[in-house]
Each structure stands twice: as structure tokens, then as C-alpha cells.
Amino acid sequence: MEQLLGQVAVRFSRLPMFPFFDLAHYTASVMSLKEQRGAVEISHNSPIACWVSAMICCFGGSILSSLMLAEPPVAFLGNTTSVLLASSVWYLIFYCPHDLVYRCFAFPPIRLMVSGMKEVTRTWKITRGVAHAHSHYKNAWMIMIVIGWARGAGSGLISNFEQLVRGVWKPETNELLKMSYPVKVSLVGAVLFTMQHINYLPVAKHNLMFFYTIFLVVTKVTMMLTEHKTSPFALFEAALSCLFFGWEPTCLKAKGEVRLPNNGTSTACDLGDSGKKKHAKKTE
Amino acid sequence: MEQLLGQVAVRFSRLPMFPFFDLAHYTASVMSLKEQRGAVEISHNSPIACWVSAMICCFGGSILSSLMLAEPPVAFLGNTTSVLLASSVWYLIFYCPHDLVYRCFAFPPIRLMVSGMKEVTRTWKITRGVAHAHSHYKNAWMIMIVIGWARGAGSGLISNFEQLVRGVWKPETNELLKMSYPVKVSLVGAVLFTMQHINYLPVAKHNLMFFYTIFLVVTKVTMMLTEHKTSPFALFEAALSCLFFGWEPTCLKAKGEVRLPNNGTSTACDLGDSGKKKHAKKTE
Amino acid sequence: MEQLLGQVAVRFSRLPMFPFFDLAHYTASVMSLKEQRGAVEISHNSPIACWVSAMICCFGGSILSSLMLAEPPVAFLGNTTSVLLASSVWYLIFYCPHDLVYRCFAFPPIRLMVSGMKEVTRTWKITRGVAHAHSHYKNAWMIMIVIGWARGAGSGLISNFEQLVRGVWKPETNELLKMSYPVKVSLVGAVLFTMQHINYLPVAKHNLMFFYTIFLVVTKVTMMLTEHKTSPFALFEAALSCLFFGWEPTCLKAKGEVRLPNNGTSTACDLGDSGKKKHAKKTE
């Protein structure tokens, strides 16, 4: 049984992301963008700003990690196939007559599948980011965590600047001040994969990938199905907050917040479920 | 006749930009900066912020393309002669007693000549940007377009951050949301020169440079003389917009906008004529 | 006597910054951050944003100069010891029960010592920045000045973006528009050390380091003791301003401003004394 699971994990870890999982990632990202306030108007008034915004949503992780490692942030444009794929998705979702493509993907079962597949790409991005940082900086585990995190949750972390392209500026909030669930889970993933990479974690890489992905997909689907906004980390965070950052008042306050966690303010690109149902109801 | 034209084009394409055309570029850029609201006060209260702002206007293309290709964005400071030339122009235009130098260059015929010469530098910047990107990324035509565009219209594209240096922040607008004419024409140029570079366009480089420059100068001079704000691309844009991004309402809206195009909101550095006459009247 | 002074200067220039002076720098930076409005709330609501903000304050010079030279801005994370040291300081100052550590360092004599030691690190940072830029760009003195300045006053120069991490956005002011004293003195230092480096200044490096540091420490301590906000450069600036940027009205205005210089608006990270006493009174 264990051997079978091991084989499944190995096979899973060799799964190619291109083209289906990448397509799902582009679709989920662009749909979240379309659900942002004002995005549809911008798509008509200024297709180029809309396209740039969509590309930042789709390739945000690559752009952010390139900036951090002083590699060309436009390098992703060199991968013509991916960019054309993402552009096609953007075009179909924003400009298809009668909004057909958007409505099709907004159909709950399809959306659920697309969101689940998008989560799978997150694992791949984090592991690639960690390995890439390791190839530049041997054993600089902090850089590995940061790059893994940036790859996994890049579009969320640079959402302030993605919004700026669309003429929206919300300085009072950002993904560091109020982390959305995808940004949190990417950070956890980056820490885990970095520990695995420098052999602090006695787990094989394919097993970690397998179980982390399952955790990602299951929590994502559960959160979408139950419309439950509470992060699965809420209790853990509260405990950690109490332990490290809390003398009494904070601790009490933190405990109080567990009941009303504020993860609903996720950003355009990494938002996967919170805005969708309201919007879906409106458009249908 | 054709041979003669070819010879003229070859000679033209070997024209050195330094020092006269570069000087015209610095002059036009710094004058546009001075015509921005609040720039004169800042030049007296904080000469350093004003100088930094002027350098971003003069070398914005180089800064932006360096950032995109992960090359040192301060590299332009290594070209001491150019920076000293631009700084002298900045000093004379902002601080000359009785505003003599500014008034001299604001004299319409001189301004017309300076603006025309500035447009010539645009062609050179775009071709150099495309060639530079090609030397890094073989056949990555999207990167070539982006770098050529960034070089040609850099100061416009980063105008939000140039304004930030002067304490001005206008997030609701940027050159992607509402492209000014120079940014548009640079994009068209970048596409053309990239196509020529990868042999998709059956034109010799010197011919393309020659005719593109003539188009740039003629449209610029015409727009300045007639105070006509309509971009020569307006009809073409409307058609494109109808074809690709338009089902009925957008298309109608786009057609309606052709009569009232809003290209007047050009930015500090690439603005060449819109602000000039009003200001000139005030100062005289 | 002169020989003795020379020996003292040589010994001084070999002083290791790690760990005591670096610790003083981290302490002074993090304390200034804690004294910013809203920082304490953020430290409880979002420890990660607070930590990122603290790291930008502590390593701002390194981050900014890396960005300018297209080196990885996250490279400072590779120096695990320094980052852990700075993180410990951040943790103790923000989260120590009953604010014990903060109150201890806010005790005026200790604060005076810490601020003095922080100024010593400034000299080292500037000289390293100038030497580093020189190793990349031979004789590009403008780049050397800019990198030296960025290293010496980095956290001040990027304070707008450090504030953005904490959800604060003040576009109307920045350290170029209204230079605080540390930013000014770093610029002067960068100019001096660059001139020394390219042999325009007939002074030995260790002597310049010695006297510049003494000047830094003495002016800092004097400004803190007398609560005097006037920069020692005020008169010099006014003269320069009159000479270069002034026809009559500006000149008169500049002279009038000497009596009321507005250096009090220093930023979080480089602020060392202005905010301290008021806050110290409140907390005690």
C-alpha cells in the first residue's frame, strides 16, 4: 500500500504543467481579474492596460522573483507559447461575444475544477522557485523561502502595482498587512519545500509535493463549496500569535479575531472564490 | 530617383545623434517638465528633486529598459558627457535670470525645430532598443517590442514615478490607461522595427528609419501648427477596436470618441506642444 | 602629535562594524520605526509586514544600491547572521513584555550612545558603496556618488516604499523634496569619499573617515542634546542656493528660511532624535 502511494506520488511529481494546468491557472487568474471592480470598463477603454494587468496576474510570480534575483523581469515574454496562451485566455474571457466564455467558466462545477487545477500549479511554482534560488545561493535558506513564496504568490504580493496599471491605488492595504489565504499557504509551502531542500525535513520531495498539493486542492475546494472564509490556519495563527507576539491584551484580541478572520480581502489575481459567487449571481 | 532616395536614407541612418539631436531632446524634455504644474516652485525649493526629475525625463527610456533587462538603471550616469549636457540644459532652462533661455526656446519657430529634432532621436532610441534586446534574446520578438517601446517612450511610461519625485501622485491615470500620442507612435515604431529586425518586413532598415522619422516629424509639426489634438491613428484605432474588442456598444462608443479623442493628457516629459502655448502666453 | 593622530585614524578605519556598531544601527533604526505613528498597531495586527518594514529600515541602503546596480536586492538575506541579529533586535524592541527593551534604549544617555554608534556605521557604508561602485564602473564618479549616497541614506531614500508596506502612503513628500539631515550629510559624505577615491582630494582615506565620522557623531549628539533642528549646513545651503539657483526673490526667500529650516520631517528609519523625546515622555 505504502509502495503504491509512493509510486503515485512519484508519477504525480512528474506531471507536466503545460498546457492544461497552465491554462487553468491563466483562466482562474483572468477570471478573478475580470471580477475586480472597474476591470470590464478598462477592458473596453484601454485593452493594452487590461492586457498588461492580465499578464501581471498570470506571470506575477515570475516577474516578482526575477526582480528579487536581478534577472530580467520581462524574461517571461521570451516564452512565446505561454504568453500567447495566456493572451488567448484573456481575449476570450474579456471580449467573447455575449460573455460566453466567462459564463461558461463561471459555472460552479467548472470553476471548481479550474480552481483546483490552478492550486496544483502553485506547488510546481514554489518548488521551482526554491530550486532556482538554491542554484544561485547555496544554503541561503531565507532567500530560498522568499523566492519560493514570490513564485507561489507573486501576483498577490504585487497586487498593489497590478492595480496601479488599471488606475486603482489602495495603499492602505496590501498582502503583507492583511494576508489572503493563498499568500499564507504559499508562505507555508515555501518554508516546507526549503526545509526539504536543505534536508531538514525527512520527507522525499515527491511525497511532500503530493501531500502539499492535496492539502491545497482540498482546502480550496472546501472553502469554495462551504463559502467558508476562515483560513484553516486561523487557530494555528492565533496560538503562534499568543506565543510569540502576545502579552495579554494582544492575545485576547487575537483570540477574539479567530471568530471573525478577515481573509475576504484577497486581491484580484489570487482571489479564487470570494468574489465569484456574488458576481456570478449578478451576471446571470 | 529611387537610387538617390536610397542614398539619402543610408546617409540619414548614419546621422550622429550626439550632440545636436540629443541636445534638442534634452531641451524639449526639460521644457515640458517646466510647464508642468508646480515644477517651478519645486525647482526653487528643492533643486535636487528637480534635477532627478529632469534626468528621469531625459533618460527615462534608458532607465526603464535597463530595469526591464536587469541592467543597472544608473548606468546612464556613466556617460558623463550626456549627463552634464542634460544638466546644463536643465540649469539654463530653470534658473537662467529673467527666464531668458526658456523664453527663447518657447518662441514658436524654435520650439517647432526643437520638437522636430527630438522626434528624430526617438527613431534612433527605438532601433537601438530593438537591437539591444535582440542581442540578449534571439527571436523573442515580444521582448524586442517591449524594449524598443520602453526606449522610445520611456519617460512617458514611467511618468507616474517621475511625478512622485516631485511629490505629485496621480494613480488614476497612466500612459497605459490613456496613451498619449508619443507613446502610441513609439509602440507602432517598436513593432515595425522588430518586424524589420526579424525579417518579417521586406524593407531595408535605413529606409524604414527614414520614412518612420519623416512620419514622426511631419505629424508632430502638423499637430503643433494646427493645435490639432486628434491622433493620426484615431480612425485606425477605432476600426481595430471595432474589429477585435467590440461588440456593438463598444464599437459605437469607440466611433463616438473619434470626434473627441483625449490625447491632451500627455505627461510631463513627452508632452511637446499641448501645454506650451498657454504657458508661453502667461509668461510673456 | 600629528603622527599619533594618524595612527589613531588608521586604527579607527580598521574598526570592525560587526557586531556592536551593526547592533547599534539596527537598534536605532527599529526604535525610530516603532516611534512612527501606527507602527505599534501594525506590529500586533501583522507581524510579517512589521518585520519586512524593519528589515527595509535596517538594510535599506543595501537594497537600494542593489536595485541601482542590478544586483539581487534580496542578497542581504544571504547574510543570515546579520538578518537574525536585526530580527532579534526587532523582536525585542516590539514585543518584549512591558516594553522593557524599548524603554531601556529610550533612556537618554543610552539612546545618545546608540545614535552616535549608528552614525559610525554610516561612514563605513558610504566608503563601501563608493568602492563597490568603483569596482564596477571605473571613474564614473556620478555613479560612485549615487551608490555611496544610497548606501549611506538608503532607508531614508526609500522611506515612501517602506511606509507603503505598513499601509501608509505620503506621496506629497519624499527625501528628495525635503531632505532630512541624515540624507544631506550622507550626500556630502558620498561626494567627499568619491573625490578621495579618484584622488581629487589630497587626504588619506583613513583620515577622511576619521574626521567625517567625528563630524557625524558630534553634530548628531549636539542636535540631540540641544533639540536643535537646524542643520549645520543651513547657512552653507542658503549661500549655495543664492549663488546657483537664485535671482533675487528666491535668494531672499532662502535667507528667510534659514531661521526656520524644516528638517523636522525626517523619516522613520533615519530619524534619530526628533521624535524620540516626545515619545519617551509619553511612555515614561
pLDDT, tens digit, 9 for 90 and up, residues C244-284: 887 444 444 444 444 333 443 444 454 444 444 444 444 43
Residue predicted with more confidence, C249 or A137: A137
User: Is the pLDDT assigned to residue B39 strictly greater than 80?
Assistant: yes
- Which residue from C43, C46, C77 is facing A142, i.e. has the nearest CB? C77
Residue B67 counted as domain residue: yes
Whole-number Å distance between alpha carbons of A239 and A257: 12
- Which residue from C66, C78, C167 is facing A143, i.e. has the nearest CB? C78
Q: CA angle, corner A82, sides to A77 and A83, nearest 5?
A: 45
Burial class for C92, CB neighbours closer than 10 Å (0-12, 13-18, 19+): middle
pLDDT, tens digit, 9 for 90 and up, residues B170-197: 999 999 999 999 999 999 999 999 999 9
Structure confidence at residue C177 (pLDDT): 93
- Cα distances from B202 to residues B196, B197, B198, B207, in angstroms, run 7, 10, 10, 11
Whole-number Å distance between alpha carbons of C186 and C122: 8
Over residues C35-42, the mean pLDDT reads 93
Q: CA angle, corner A217, sides to A212 and A223, nearest 5?
A: 125
Residue B37 counted as domain residue: yes
Q: Do B80 and C141 touch (CB under 8 A)?
A: yes
Burial A46-65 (b: 16+ CB within 10 A, else e): bbebbbbbbbbbbbbbbbbb
For residues A270 and A153, the answer to whether their CB atoms sit within 8 Å is: yes
pLDDT, tens digit, 9 for 90 and up, residues C72-126: 999 999 999 999 999 999 999 999 989 999 999 999 999 999 999 999 999 999 9
User: Is the pLDDT assigned to residue C3 strictly greater than 80?
Assistant: yes
* B80 — pLDDT class (breaks 50, 70, 90): very high
Residue C283 counted as domain residue: no
| A241: closest CA of chain B, how far (Å) | 35
C211 near B CB under 8 A: no
C52 near A CB under 8 A: yes
Task: Quote the percentage of chain C above a pLDDT of 70.
Answer: 87
Chain A residue numbers with beta carbons less than 8 Å from the beta carbon of B179 are 46, 48
Full residue range of the structural domain in which residue B238 is found: 18-107+120-278
Does the model's ipTM exceed the 0.85 cut? Answer: yes
B245 near A CB under 8 A: yes
Residue B10 counted as domain residue: no
Whole-number Å distance between alpha carbons of A109 and A113: 6
Residue B161 counted as domain residue: yes
Chain C residue numbers with beta carbons less than 8 Å from the beta carbon of B77 are 140, 142-143, 146
Number of domains in chain C: 1
- Cα distances from C195 to residues A234, C65, C132, in angstroms, run 56, 19, 15
- Which residue from C73, C74, C165 is facing A176, i.e. has the nearest CB? C165
Residue to test with chain B: of A74, A96, A160, most B Cβ within 10 A = A74
Query: Over A59-70, what HEC string results?
Result: HHHHHHHHHHCC
Structure confidence at residue B246 (pLDDT): 74
- Which residue from A46, A77, A165 is facing B140, i.e. has the nearest CB? A77
Residue A53 counted as domain residue: yes
pLDDT, tens digit, 9 for 90 and up, residues A244-282: 887 444 444 444 444 333 443 444 454 444 444 444 444
Task: For chain C, give the mean pLDDT.
Answer: 87
Over residues C7-13, the mean pLDDT reads 93
Residue A240 counted as domain residue: yes
B158 near A CB under 8 A: no
Neighbouring C-alpha atoms within 13 Å toward the C-beta of C99: 14
Task: Quote the percentage of chain A above a pLDDT of 90.
Answer: 75
Q: DSSP string covering chain B, please?
A: -HHHHHHHHHHHHT---TTHHHHHHHHHHHHHHHTSTTHHHHHHH-HHHHHHHHHHHHHHHHHHHHHHTTS-TTGGGG-HHHHHHHHHHHHHHHHSGGGHHHHHHHSHHHHHHHHHHHHHHHHHHHHHHHHHHHHHSTT-HHHHHHHHHHHHHHHHHTHHHHHHHTT---TT--TTTS--HHHHHHHHHHHHHHHHHTT-S-S-HHHHHHHHHHHHHHHHHHHHHHT----TTHHHHHHHHHHHH-SHHHHHHHHHHHTS--TT---TTT--STTHHHHHHHH-
Structure confidence at residue C260 (pLDDT): 38
Over residues B2-14, the mean pLDDT reads 91
- What's the DSSP call for residue C172? T
Neighbouring C-alpha atoms within 13 Å toward the C-beta of B244: 14
- What's the DSSP call for residue A71? S
Over residues B213-232, the mean pLDDT reads 88
Which residues touch C24 (CB under 8 Å, ≥6 apart)? C113, C114, C117, C118, C120, C121
Chain B residue numbers with beta carbons less than 8 Å from the beta carbon of C67 are 73
* A31 — pLDDT class (breaks 50, 70, 90): very high
Residue B284 counted as domain residue: no
- Which residue from C46, C74, C97 is facing A247, i.e. has the nearest CB? C97
* B146 — pLDDT class (breaks 50, 70, 90): very high
Q: Do A97 and B253 touch (CB under 8 A)?
A: no
Over residues B52-58, the mean pLDDT reads 97
For residues B43 and A46, the answer to whether their CB atoms sit within 8 Å is: no
In chain C, alpha helices (H):
2-13, 20-34, 39-45, 47-68, 80-95, 100-106, 108-136, 141-157, 159-165, 181-197, 205-226, 234-245, 248-258, 276-283
Whole-number Å distance between alpha carbons of C221 and C273: 9
Q: Do A160 and C165 touch (CB under 8 A)?
A: no
